[in-house]
Amino acid sequence: MPIKLTKAAIEGLPLPDGRESIVRDSELKGFAVRVTSSGHKSYIVEKKVAGKTRRITLARCDLIPLREAREVAISHLAEMARGITPQARQQSPDTLSAVLEQYIAERQARHPPMKPKTADSYRKLMAEFGDHMGRSVASIGEREILDLHAALTKRGPTHANNVMRVARAIFNYAEDLELAPANPIAVMRRRRLWNRERRRTRRLDAETLPLWWKMLEEMDVLAWPARGDVIRDLWRFMLLTGMRYEEAGRLRIENVDLKRATFTVLDTKNRDDVTLPAGRYVLALLTRRCALGGEWVFPAPKRTYTSAGHDIRKTLIVATGLDWSPHDLRRTFASVIESFDVSDSTIKRLLGHKVKDVTGGYIQQDMERLRGLVQRYEDCALAGADSR
């Protein structure tokens, strides 16, 4: 039964009993809203052209206003009345490459938007589809997915899974736009082909921590002018705070409170702003770096903030034989803090996850409790490094 489609009516539409439901507008014949079992709602138009019912998906209901959707629908219905097939005017892309870009564009238009780094990682992972990126999504079937996953698994099981996870999202999106009849990635679950993934556990321990710290002490910072000393301080900061590079590298001087001995990380991976206490060594490091002025605590000579220093790290690995990664520093921090027998929520808080429902006077109490743990960790790490 058609209803008058309003914003409130659309928001209140229930999930369908089956795969989808079509709710038609009583005011504009041919205009409707399609509701999928996943909760996605899209504006569509339907009309017979040359004796066959044709359907065009206009846009997701949360992306354009109802008034604009009606105007677009009227335009399409007028063309269809003149016998113009909707395929000739279909605005939704049908190649895998085009669907990927449209998916990213929609995600970046949402709030909060997809981060540029995430968009780049999606593109890099989907590039594994090679020539398939130029094919229509409807023409890519389970056979292609099985062959690609098998080939990628030989190179790296986790990488193969990551490619398929992104592809699953893209094909779900294509299916939602009615550009593909089904999601071919579903064969992975049906045949239980997802690779088992081993969680990385490498960290600096009693043997490697002193070697790592000595490596920094002895590194020739002049070999990398205007970068070496910054990168060295960045790595020390990451070890002693557990921060990711993306968070530590983007730390601004204005977000360091030397008086309160705290620093605030903006827009973390979890999209929160998090304030954390600094231990005595870290506070001295921050004081020294902030005294240099500028915008960034860890600046780069020709850009905004410094890189993670992968080129320097690789050179040092070759020179010392000590293999390590920036994330090993975060795992080191987490494992030592965990050994203090503290709660999971405390560990998450120290790793930069925002704690909800912390209000009023408890905020200061919580900060001082965390400061004690941070100082305890810092003392342990520096004692282990044998370098105070």
Q: What is the pLDDT of residues 228-286, one digit of tens each?
A: 999 999 999 999 999 999 899 999 999 999 999 999 988 776 667 889 999 999 999 99
Task: Indicate the pLDDT class of residue 354, thresholds 50, 70 and 90.
Answer: low
Contacts of 104 (CB under 8 A, 6+ apart): 114, 119, 122, 123
Torsion of CA 81, 87, 92, 93, to 10 degrees: -160
Of 34-48, 74-88, 366-380, minimum mean pLDDT range: 74-88
DSSP annotation string for 229-254? HHHHHHHHHHHHH---HHHHTT-BGG
pLDDT in tens, 65-111: 898 889 888 878 887 776 655 454 444 458 898 899 889 888 888 77
Contacts of 312 (CB under 8 A, 6+ apart): 219, 224, 227, 228, 231
Q: What is the pLDDT of residue 50?
A: 65
Q: What is the pLDDT of residue 91?
A: 43
Comparing 71 with 51, the larger pLDDT belongs to 71
- Contact status, residue 210 vs residue 218, Cβ threshold 8 Å: no
pLDDT in tens, 293-342: 999 999 988 778 888 888 899 999 888 889 899 999 999 999 999 999 88
Task: Indicate the pLDDT class of residue 200, thresholds 50, 70 and 90.
Answer: confident
DSSP annotation string for 159-204? HHHHHHHHHHHHHHHHHHTTSSSS-TTHHHHHTT-PPP-PPP----
The whole-number average pLDDT for the span 214-234 is 91
Homologous superfamily, domain 96-190: Tyrosine recombinase, N-terminal domain (1.10.150.130)
Query: Which of 3.40.50.300, 3.40.390.10, 3.30.10.20, 3.30.160.390 is the CATH number of 7-89?
Result: 3.30.160.390
**Residue 43 main-chain phi, psi, to 5 deg:** -80, 140
The whole-number average pLDDT for the span 8-28 is 91
Mean pLDDT of the chain: 87
Closest among 135, 228, 243 to 180, alpha carbons compared: 135
Rounded CA separation 45/47 (Å): 7
**Residue 183 main-chain phi, psi, to 5 deg:** -95, 110
Dihedral sign of CA atoms 290, 291, 293, 299 in order: negative
Contacts of 354 (CB under 8 A, 6+ apart): 268, 270, 272, 273, 274
Geometric angle at alpha carbon 94, from 93 and 96, rounded to 5°: 105
Q: What is the pLDDT of residue 90?
A: 43
| 125 pLDDT more than 90 | yes
The whole-number average pLDDT for the span 176-203 is 89
3-state DSSP of 370-385: HHHHHHHHHHHHHHHH
Global confidence as pTM? 0.59
- Contact status, residue 18 vs residue 37, Cβ threshold 8 Å: yes
Fold of 208-385: hpI Integrase; Chain A (1.10.443)
In the chain, what are the domain boundaries? 7-89, 96-190, 208-385
Q: What is the pLDDT of residue 16?
A: 87
